[in-house]
Amino acid sequence: MKTVKTTFFAVIAMFAFSANSNAQAPAKNPLTKPAITTTPAATKPSAPVAWKAEVYDFGDIKKGTPVSHDFTFTNTTKQTVLITNVKASCGCTATDYTKTPIKPGETAYVKATYNAAAPGAFSKTVTVTLNENETPKVLTIKGKVVEPQS
């Protein structure tokens, strides 16, 4: 009989301990969907600049004649913007860009120059990073290099 009482109290103690630990954690209802959190549109960061164009088509160009295009943008923020990195997708495209800080409302440029050495269609990209922590912008130049008429 003593063993039955001891076992009974042990079971009661385990139940009490189990009930106490469950009381600390909220019960999960399997029918309840988890909450979805979203960032309101007003707090999402806006694009730091407004590009005039992100793609430029040269059309047909003569082989051996380099062509250039200036991609321009305006700083639309209330803070100064700095171009921190510009990288062409291959060695056939050279780049140049505004090296000074761009104040709010000011316009800057990224120049892409394609060497047009090989005949045929081309599509090349230039990746531009502003203020190191921003998502890079990919600009595209394209066209078709044709053999010059003899």
pLDDT (tens digit per residue) in 33-88 = 444 444 444 444 456 789 999 999 999 999 999 999 999 999 999 999 999 999 99
β-bridge mates for residue 62, sequence order:
146
Q: What torsion, rounded to 10 degrees, do the Cα atoms 77, 79, 84, 85 define?
A: 0
Residue 148's pLDDT is what? 83
Residues 126, 86: contact at Cβ < 8 Å? Answer: yes
Query: Tell me, what's the pLDDT at 44?
Result: 40
pLDDT higher than threshold 80 for residue 10: no
At residue 134, the pLDDT reads: 80
- The model's confidence at residue 13, banded by pLDDT at 50, 70 and 90, is low
**Predicted TM-score (pTM) of this structure:** 0.67
| pLDDT, tens only, 104-139 | 999 999 999 999 999 999 999 999 999 877 899 999
Q: Are 67 and 146 in contact (CB under 8 A)?
A: no
Question: What is 46-146's CATH topology?
Answer: Immunoglobulin-like (2.60.40)
pLDDT of the residue at 127:
97
pLDDT at 40: 43
Residue 8's identity, in one-letter code, is F
Which one-letter amino acid corresponds to residue 147? E
